[in-house]
A and B are shown apart, each in its own frame.
Chain A
Amino acid sequence: MTNGIEKLALRPIGRRAALIGLAGVAGTLSMPWIARAQAETIRIGFPTPLTGPFAAEANDQVRSAQLAVKLANDKGGIAGRKVELLVRDDKLNAGEAATRTLELIEKDKVHAVVGALSSAVQLAVNEVTRARNMLYISISQSDTINETKDFSPYTFHEALNPTMTTAVVAKHSFKKGSKVAYLVADYAYGHEMLRGFRRAAKEIGAQTVSEILHPFGAADYSTFIPTILASGADILCICNFGRDQANSIKQAVDFGVKDQMKIVVPVLLHNQRLAVDPEVFEGVTGGANYYWGLEETVPSAKAFNDAFRAMYKGTIPTDYGAYGYTGVASLLMAIEKAGGTEPQKVIAALEALKYDIAKGEQSYRKCDHQSMQSVLVLESKAKSAMKSDADLFKIVAAEPASESVLRTCSELGFKS
């Protein structure tokens, strides 16, 4: 076996054969380059946790992102080029996400990255894209990504951030003199939401009576509830995400918490509401970036829902799903305006962009690249008030885009 290979390797190669071979290699290598120069496909990398506890939300993100790509290709592409979405499973793991992102950049030669569904994983993706001057549209809640420490001129934050979410939710649920107890998941998301609520509560004049940190992914909340019930609070603010939200609310309700206090959450999750009976979430109030019911008042929401229904057999887009759509669609709009994928031109186009593609007017703030957008406040409906299985929430308020709910540029550490 080894002998055969050695013989082959030792066989002298004639000069003519070598030349022909080289020419052939050069020819095949250069051909795709000629084809590419004409209309290279715009490739967008999309890392998201397709498996794991956030899988439901991640799959919604992918479906919405694919819709944005399909709509662009249906009208003949962007700047005359086809668009392709490269979805990768980041397994909700920062290391995995960094590796997949690196692969997308180095091997798949993507022109931009959109995605991630956890503040920590998102920061890992941001590390990679920042080091390689790669465009990145982040679509998960985070305050850190706005701060100068983690800022990249190539990163744009399409999702809401905890500061703006909690400011708006608190405005519509806390009152002066309210007594608030907090149940908070002990990791970045929970801490950032708690910080936001504290800041808003101080301004409103609400009082904190109890703060309980619970471990991420806890299965049983029964042992936290006696303290909450004994705190004398009139609002229980539960700051956690995914299954933790459904589990903790369900168990709190089992203990009769709702008879004594109102339950408020930073983000009222579409899929988690679907994971329990309507009675459990009834009356629970929380924020959202998107709810399909917005279509009654916002024309772009109607257009987005209709396109989604047409592509996915009448189903509706969800809150976190909509991020996938607005993230990819706003990027494509900017690429179109820039006339190509040259990063500096796309950055300039994104900074100048005014877009209304699903939820009303949006734009990226220049200093931290945070998307200024409306924040919804939703209340979960009673079963008797639901007109259909999808009729989950009442829109209590839709706060228009405003800098007043954001930290100022100088507060974030940017020099004006």
Chain B
Amino acid sequence: MTVQLIAMQLFSGLALGAVLIMVALGLSIIFGMLGIVNFAHGALFMVGAYAGLYVAGLTGSFWWALLIAPVMIGLFGMLIERFLIRPLYGRSPDDPLLLTFGLGYVLVEAVRIFFGTDGIPFSTPAALRGVVNLGIGFFPLYRLFVIGVVVAVLLLLWIGLEKTKFGLIVRAGSADPLIMRVLGVDISRLWLIVFGIGVGITALGGVLAAPMRNVSPEMGTLVLAEAFVVTVIGGMGSLPGAVIAGLIVGVSVSMTSLFAPEMATIVMFALMALILLVRPNGLYGRAAPGL
């Protein structure tokens, strides 16, 4: 075991962390702003990957898939919010949870019917194939690209939420929707857009994951679990929390892979249990309203 290997393992962990952040972001936004625990998250991630596959098939380009698929699924998310979730606002938080849980099953079965149960190839775009020498070892170029995209998305989100008027309204709306209504802000429209953005980012995660993990109807199952672990550790609804938690989980998984590889999946859940014991609201969480 050399220093080089440990350094490489650490880097793999941070890179995996970036993937996990991407996977968890959509869930975290929707919970943080709307207070909805979206159990269809994994299924929407999968649907995003299939939409990417479809667009890439039509246009022959990964780049179009990366741009168009999230928008398509984001709009689809808005339809879900408008017609399925909106009637449930103001009722018990269990209601949207149960609805999205069922919706997840419907989406998976629908994809099975239209695209079949077999896995479908999704090629890594030609420009992003190959490995890069990092000095400590070789790393796939595509995974470096994913890290770049995640950083860009986080930056955009941060600017959007912290530096724009829209962001101010969204934050105020999530803090006290009633007062915002009294002030004459159309909260319904706001939540529609936020839900759409959350689902769009989830779909972007699906497209980005497709060239690494295979595209199959079940690809979202594990994603839902991963996203929950990251969101719970970071604190439900906290963006900085999701980032820190993603990186911590990534590095923990990676270091466990080095010393006790068969524990690599379980360590995520052990970490979550530990955090819940010490800080029940997660690292950056505040007590969730209405839960």
Known A214-B261, A223-B12, A229-B138; contact A243-B19, beta-carbon cutoff 8 A: no
* Closest partner residue, chain B, to A59 (CB atom): B117
The smallest beta-carbon distance between B133 and chain A, in angstroms, is 10
Known A215-B266, A272-B119; contact A226-B16, beta-carbon cutoff 8 A: no
**Which residue among A226, A251, A271 has the maximum number of chain B CB atoms within 10 Å of its CB?**
A226
Known A56-B117, A254-B142; contact A215-B213, beta-carbon cutoff 8 A: no
A276 contacts the other chain (CB 8 A): yes
The smallest beta-carbon distance between A193 and chain B, in angstroms, is 15
Interface string of B1-38 (1 = CB under 8 A from A): 01011001100110110010000000000000000000
A230–B5 CA distance with the chains assembled, in angstroms: 7
Known A53-B218, A256-B131; contact A223-B9, beta-carbon cutoff 8 A: yes
Within 8 A of A (CB), among B239-269: 253-254, 257-258, 261-266
A111 contacts the other chain (CB 8 A): no
**CB contact between B131 and one of A220, A255, A275 (< 8 Å): that residue:** A255
A274 contacts the other chain (CB 8 A): yes
* Closest partner residue, chain A, to B20 (CB atom): A220
The smallest beta-carbon distance between A199 and chain B, in angstroms, is 21
Known A186-B262, A225-B12, A226-B12; contact A219-B118, beta-carbon cutoff 8 A: no
A55–B217 CA distance with the chains assembled, in angstroms: 11
* Closest partner residue, chain A, to B119 (CB atom): A275
B264: chain A residues at CB < 8 Å are 214-215, 218, 223-224
Summed over the interface, the residue pairs from A and B with CB atoms below 8 Å come to a total of 112
The smallest beta-carbon distance between A106 and chain B, in angstroms, is 30
B124 contacts the other chain (CB 8 A): yes
B contact residues, range: 35 or more
B19: chain A residues at CB < 8 Å are 220
Known A220-B16, A274-B118, A275-B216; contact A226-B9, beta-carbon cutoff 8 A: yes
B223: chain A residues at CB < 8 Å are 219
> Are A223 and B119 interface neighbours, CB within 8 A?
no
> Are B118 and A271 interface neighbours, CB within 8 A?
yes
B16: chain A residues at CB < 8 Å are 220, 222-223
A56–B112 CA distance with the chains assembled, in angstroms: 11
Can you list 28 pairs linking A and B with CB atoms under 8 Å apart? A56-B119, A186-B262, A212-B257, A213-B261, A213-B262, A214-B262, A219-B213, A219-B222, A222-B15, A223-B9, A223-B12, A223-B253, A227-B258, A229-B138, A230-B2, A243-B214, A246-B214, A251-B212, A254-B140, A255-B131, A255-B139, A255-B140, A256-B130, A271-B119, A274-B118, A274-B121, A276-B121, A280-B121
Which A-B residue pairs are the 6 nearest by beta carbons? A275-B119, A213-B262, A223-B257, A215-B265, A223-B254, A55-B117
